[in-house]
A = this chain, B = another copy of it.
Amino acid sequence: MIRVLVWNEYRHEKKSEKVKEIYPNGIHEAIADFIRDDDIEVKTAWLDQENCGITKELLDNTDVLIWWGHMAHGEVPDSVAFMVRDAVLSGMGAIFLHSGHHSKPFRYLLGTSCNLTWRESGDSETLWVIEPGHPITRGIDRYFTLPHEETYGEPFTIPTPDKLLFIGNFSGGEVFRSGCLFERTNGKIFYFQPGHETFPTFYDKNVQTIIKNAVRYVAPVYREFIDCPHVRKITDEETYVIK
């Protein structure tokens, strides 16, 4: 059983009628709905819960964290962001959606500013598959189109991804590395660009397939935080970790 935690900022849905109409129960519930399966169980958490709804114990029992945030990245305490970062380094999978590129856990994991060029103008986006044999792109044709998405453009100041899976092409002309995979210590991190709050992107079948594929792909085979052992040489043959 893969244990997923969907974390949502959950502010737009309360403040904007337009967003509320599209995601009446919040983006997290929309995502949870299509992720849930015989082999996948889903919990949710959001910003305005105590400690962002996140505890060390919860993360220890989470295989994959999905993160959606946008306007309130700064309200996530560093202590929470570091807890998430360390859980990923220990092996927890992580999927950052859309404006999650600027969330603290994503930036702290990658180290760069994770800036990008952007524009809200209702462009359509066509996403092209770069690696047709990858588990995350299974079931997706050569490309698919979202009628409306927020435009994200290069340069996207991330470290070179370990694998580039999708390039998005916006009707306004911009291109963007819309699906990027990173490996950091024991954890796999997938960034996926679609998911602006004012569009029904999370009801798109292709988007759902990709996120669900990603859940199964980034789920850990192993979970352990690698610390910094002080070792002692005992004999010529043996070296022991000092307790």
A residues contacting B by CB (< 8 A) are: 85-86, 89, 91, 102, 108-113, 115-119, 121, 126, 128-135, 138, 142-143, 153-157, 159-160, 162-164, 167, 169, 172-175, 177, 182-186, 220-233, 239
Residues of B within 8 A of A156 (CB): 130
- Decide yes or no: A89 and B221 within 8 Å by CB, A115-B227, A118-B230, A119-B233 being known contacts: no
Please judge, given known A-B contacts A126-B173, A133-B186, whether A117 and B229 are in contact too, CB under 8 Å.
yes
Separation of A1 and B227 alpha carbons in the complex (Å): 37
Q: In angstroms, how far is the closest chain B Cβ from the Cβ of A93? A: 12
What's the minimum C-beta distance from A234 to chain B, rounded to whole angstroms?
10
Count of identical protomers in the assembly: 4
Interface of A is mostly: loop
- Residues in B neighbouring A228, C-beta threshold 8 A: 102, 113, 115-118
Q: Distance (Å) between the CB of A151 and the closest chain B CB?
A: 8
Nearest neighbor of A156 in chain B, beta-carbon distance: B130
Q: Bound state CA distance, A160 and B228, in angstroms?
A: 18
Which of B108, B128, B133 contacts A185, CB < 8 Å? B133
Ranked nearest first, the 4 interchain pairs of A and B with the lowest CB-CB distance are A133-B186, A115-B228, A111-B111, A133-B222
Distance, CA A172 to CA B234, complexed state (A): 10
Query: Given A129-B155, A175-B175, A228-B118 in contact, is the A112-B167 Cβ separation under 8 Å?
Result: no
Q: Of all chain B residues, which has the CB nearest A137?
A: B222
Contact partner of A89 among B112, B220, B226, CB < 8 A?
B112
- Asked whether A175 and B185 contact (CB < 8 A) given A163-B160, A226-B113, A230-B119, the answer is no
Inside 8 A of A163's CB, which chain B residues have their CB?
Answer: 160, 183
Closest approach, in angstroms, between the C-beta of A64 and any C-beta of chain B? 15
